[in-house]
Amino acid sequence: MKKLKKIYLVSPRGFCAGVKRAVDILDLVLKKHKPPIYVRHQIVHNRHIISDFEKRGVIFVEDINNIPDGSTVIFSAHGSSPNLYQVAKRKKLKVFDATCPLVNKVHLEAKKFNGQGYFIFYIGHKNHPEAEGVLGEIPANSVVLVQTIKEAKKITPPQTDKIIVLTQTTLSFDDTKEIINYLKKRFPKLVQPPAFDICYATQNRQNAVKELAKKVDLVLVIGSKESSNSNRLKEVAEKSGKHAYLINDKSEIKLSWLENVEKLGITAGTSAPKYLIEEVINYFKKQGVTVEELSVIKENINFSLPTI
Ligand code: SF4
Q: Which atom of ligand 1 is nearest to the CA of 301?
A: 7
How far away, in angstroms, is 201 Cα from ligand 1 center? 6
Helix, strand, coil shares of the chain as percentages rounded to 5? 40, 20, 40
**In the chain, where are the structural domains located?**
6-15+199-295, 17-100, 102-186
Catalytic residue among 54, 62, 109, 130: 130
Question: Residue with the nearest Cα to atom 8 of ligand 1?
Answer: 18
Which amino acid belongs to residue 282? Answer: N
Active-site annotation holds for 262: no
CA 116 to chain centre: 29
DSSP 221: E
- Are 6-15+199-295 and 17-100 in the same CATH fold? no
Report pLDDT digits (tens) over 243-263.
999 999 999 999 999 999 999
CB of 100 sitting under 6 A from ligand 1: yes
Class of 6-15+199-295 per CATH?
A: alpha beta
Which of 41, 103, 176, 301 for a ligand 1 pocket mutation test, highest count of atoms within 8 Å of Cβ? 103
In sequence order, the β-bridge partners of residue 268 are 222
Give the pLDDT band of residue 193 (cuts 50, 70, 90): confident
CB of 17 sitting under 6 A from ligand 1: yes
Four-way CATH pick for 17-100: 3.10.20.600, 3.30.590.20, 3.20.20.70, 3.40.50.11270: 3.40.50.11270
Give me the mean pLDDT over the 113-128 stretch.
96
Is the CATH number of domain 102-186 3.40.1010.20?
yes
Q: What is the mean pLDDT of the chain?
A: 96
Which amino acid belongs to residue 25? Answer: I
